[in-house]
Amino acid sequence: MTSKLAWQQATQTVMAAGRVLIVTHVKPDGDAIGSMLGLAAALRERGIEVDTAVDGGVPRYLTYLPGAGEVRSALDTGNWDVMISVDASDEPRSGLVGVYGREHSAVVINLDHHPTNTMFGDVQLVAGEAVSSTEVIYDWLVHMQCAISAPVATALLTGLLTDTIGFRTSNVVPRTLEIASVLMQCGAPMYDLIQRTLVSRPYSDLDLWRYALPTMRLNSGIVSVVVSQANLREVGLDESTDGGLVSALIEVDEAQIAIVFKEEPDNTVRLSIRSKPGVDVGTVAFSLGGGGHAQAAGATVPGTLEEVQARVLPLLRAALTQG
Ligand code: 5GP
Ligand code: MN
């Protein structure tokens, strides 16, 4: 829960600011971009000058969001009164734009919903029970008594929908649906957003599955898949994606945990982990230098695919026993 004092501090800080920078996490998802652009649009509507930045820019499927065209994919100029980091549970997570932003901003506001948040920054708007960072922004706008325009509602509902996979995660409560209802009434086109973010994927995603699925294993409740750099090259994808594989894997009835081990070019392995309710993989990811939620987490771990599997699978087995 965010305290009233934190809302007040954050509001005063932003309202007194001439220039605000909003950054979000590397390899951004719908909640990352929805939070950044929803908050940016709301602040701009109130006359505040806002810059937005994320390493690598906005993924193509999210470019329908308001202000996506103005997002900077790298920062090498600028100074700001306030930097707001959204949907990033620690400082490294906001990548190079975060490094530059922290060095060139007087105050840092940390707005997030990950239980593993390290509480960095000068003001923390961190709500571990919120289903998305856009829910935290919604609460902030309500606290500020701001009317919600259709573009802002569209961005906020995008994060709510994508982080709950269409209201299907275990943290969804009646209030989640109430917020979605308000956002629809403010003009967010729910059906359209579902189609864009949840019910469509590029062919290359499935092409990647073709190469990855032969590596699939199911061992005592853990279903795993390995994606190599060679696989990514074969489908012409150098971009860091696992094609949404892990979400499909956790649908396996016999699995309590699903994990994708993805080889990165720099001798590290990227982990994407999901679990069924009752098994906490967020803590495991945090212990490996990453973070996330109990049911969805990730980390990047040094080593080869073989070394990282040998290190991580026992930790997941232990999490299963504890769960
Ligand atoms: P995904 O598997 O979709 O990349 O990530 C699942 C969840 O874990 C998301 O909430 C994401 O923000 C978080 N997460 C993934 N990787 C990392 C990481 O390296 N560090 C931190 N702090 N969180 C991560
Ligand atoms: Mn999120």
Looking at residue 234, its pLDDT comes to 81
Band (pLDDT 50/70/90 cuts) for residue 313 is very high
Question: Could you read off the pLDDT of 248-257 as tens digits, one per residue?
Answer: 999 999 999 9
Whether 240 has a pLDDT exceeding 90, the answer reads no
Q: Is 39 helix (H, G, I), strand (E, B) or coil?
A: helix
Percentage with pLDDT > 70 across the chain: 98
Whether 68 has a pLDDT exceeding 70, the answer reads yes
Rounded to whole angstroms, the Cα distance separating 275 from 268 reads 23
Residues facing 258 on adjacent strands:
223, 274
Looking at residue 239, its pLDDT comes to 59
Mean pLDDT of 127-155: 97
CB of 272 closer than 6 angstroms to any ligand 1 atom: yes
Q: In which residue are the tokens 């059906």 written?
A: 191
Residue type, 211: Y
Looking at residue 238, its pLDDT comes to 57
Looking at residue 4, its pLDDT comes to 87
36 close to 22: Cβ distance less than 8 angstroms: yes
Please give the distance, rounded to the nearest whole angstrom, from the Cα atom of residue 88 to the centre of ligand 1.
9
Please give the distance, rounded to the nearest whole angstrom, from the Cα atom of residue 214 to the centre of ligand 2.
30
CB of 180 closer than 6 angstroms to any ligand 1 atom: no
CATH number for region 4-199:
3.90.1640.10
The answer to whether domain 4-199 and domain 203-322 are alike in fold is: no
Protein residue whose Cα sits closest to atom 16 of ligand 1: 298
For the chain, the domains span: 4-199, 203-322
DSSP 269-293: EEEEEEE-TT---HHHHHHTT-EE-
Please give the distance, rounded to the nearest whole angstrom, from the Cα atom of residue 290 to the centre of ligand 1.
7
- Token pair in block for residue 56: 């690598």
Q: Which CATH number applies to 203-322: 3.10.310.30, 3.20.20.70, 3.10.20.30, 2.170.150.70?
A: 3.10.310.30
CB of 163 closer than 6 angstroms to any ligand 1 atom: no
Looking at residue 306, its pLDDT comes to 97
Please give the distance, rounded to the nearest whole angstrom, from the Cα atom of residue 282 to the centre of ligand 1.
9
Rounded to whole angstroms, the Cα distance separating 95 from 132 reads 20
Rounded to whole angstroms, the Cα distance separating 276 from 256 reads 5
* Least confidently predicted of 91-95, 167-171, 231-235: 231-235
Q: Is 216 helix (H, G, I), strand (E, B) or coil?
A: coil
Average confidence score pLDDT of the chain: 95
Model pTM score: 0.93
Question: Could you read off the pLDDT of 110-132 as tens digits, one per residue?
Answer: 999 999 999 999 999 999 999 99
Edge-to-edge strand ranges of the sheet holding 49-53 = 49-53, 19-24, 80-86, 105-112, 123-126
Protein residue whose Cα sits closest to atom 23 of ligand 1: 291
Phi, psi of 119 (to 5 degrees): 60, 35
Phi, psi of 273 (to 5 degrees): -125, 140
- Token pair in block for residue 182: 């308000």
Question: Could you read off the pLDDT of 16-39 as tens digits, one per residue?
Answer: 999 999 999 999 999 999 999 999
Atom of ligand 1 nearest to the CA of 246: 2
Residues ≥6 apart with Cβ < 8 Å to 160: 31, 34, 131, 132, 134, 135, 176, 179, 180, 183
Protein residue whose Cα sits closest to atom 14 of ligand 1: 298
Percentage with pLDDT > 90 across the chain: 89
- Token pair in block for residue 220: 């005592």
Protein residue whose Cα sits closest to atom 7 of ligand 1: 297
Mean pLDDT of 171-189: 98
